[in-house]
Amino acid sequence: MTTRILAQIVLPALFGLVSLLAASGQSNAQLFETRAQQAVLLDANTGTVLYTKNADDTVPPASLAKMMTMEVVFNALKSGRLNMDDEFLVSEYAWRTGGAVSGGSTMFAELNSSIRLEDLIKGVIVQSANDGCIIIAEGMAGSEDNFARLMTERARNIGLEKSVFKNSTGLPAEGQVVTMRELAKLANYLQREYPDLYKLYSLREFTWNKITQRNRNPLLAMGIGADGVKTGFTEESGYAIVGSVKRDGRRLIAALSGMTDERTRAEEARKILDWGVRAFESYELFKKDELIGNVRLYGGEMLTVPVTVREDLEILLPITERDRMKARVVYQGPVKAPVRAGDQIAALKIWIGDDLSQETPLYAAESVGKGPIHRQALDAMSELVLGWF
């Protein structure tokens, strides 16, 4: 059987909102302007990507890498492999590379002391502590190199395909890269999968070793509903931030990089988040279990099987751009029979103009068994002919 990507136009009614072709050539970038070189704005509730600008460019992560460090730790806590009272030893390497003598962000951990994991996590989240990251990395994986491999492995497990980590801190390292799209996705994953631990990102300050340091995230003090996440800076890629706000029942996540200074970073982050709250409206596209389209089958007792969504499906659209949405059922196939009701066999992809805005899994609405031998033979011949073309 020849395998290929097939696209089937979604049912066209879609409450009058779906255009089968883009209505204009206007790009996403023209809807909003930012001084960031790379940017993405994500609506966490619906998964709608509201804005992108070079969102898939790979850039050095700087301290934004510490979000992935925390994901590895949070995952270990959730699974029971670690608990908050576990103590970790401060090695000479951690002290020299990330401690007070290093000149970088630090929680001033003392050489050869032992520190509770809860305090280390707060040091990393609030104080962006390099020593805290390395202490955790060595305690969990034996070395920072081993821990960095765990970070990249976890990144792949949660769907981050481009991000590569070489250390736990985000300090400059060859081959260490992220994208703003993937960091926004990571922030969304953290707040969704670890809600109690994610709350630590809203802490305004933390005191360790009799030294109080304030959270470096400028959004927390703006009164805009911000509760995370992280800032970063490298000479190569400039100032960066991943910010999250929750307002009026909605959560928006912005990831921006390539800004020239701290003030611009704060201004651009607030501007894009405010715009996201005010410039979009929510639309219900499909109800749970509503039939959306049909997927072609290979060797089945029926030629096609209907597909549906498991939950009510909503999307956010710019209030001035309702006619620029297009949607398609996309799958790799034909899908080989038998198919059981509930099998994930396709996806609904939705574009706003030329920008992929949302992708939602689609599931078989009913079971379809294998067809008779002559049906399988006809489908095989059809695939062969299509393969020639």
Candidates 278, 280, 269, 276; CA nearest to 222 is 269
162 is catalytic: no
Residues 344 and 361: beta-carbon distance below 8 Å: yes
The verdict on whether 66 is a catalytic residue reads: yes
Q: Looking at the DSSP assignment, which residues form a beta bridge with residue 245? A: 226, 252
**Cα separation of 103 and 93, whole Å?**
14
Axis crossing angle, helix 130-141 with helix 117-127, rounded to the nearest 10: 140
Cβ atoms of residues 22 and 353 within 8 Å = yes
For this structure, is 168 an active site residue?
no
- The residue annotated as part of the active site, out of 105, 128, 168, 357, is 128
- Rounded CA-CA distance 67/183 in Å is 8
Which of 19, 53, 63, 257 is flagged as catalytic? Answer: 63
Which residue's structure tokens are 């992108």? Answer: 52
288 labeled binding residue = no
CA distances from 292 to 243, 276, 352, 366 (A): 34, 28, 19, 13
Coil vs helix vs strand at 275: helix
Q: Which residues contact 381 (CB under 8 A, 6 or more apart)?
A: none
Q: Which residues contact 288 (CB under 8 A, 6 or more apart)?
A: 309, 310, 311, 312
Annotated active-site residue in 66, 122, 166, 326: 66
Enumerate the active-site residues: 63, 66, 128
Binding residue positions for substrate: 230
Binding residue positions: 230
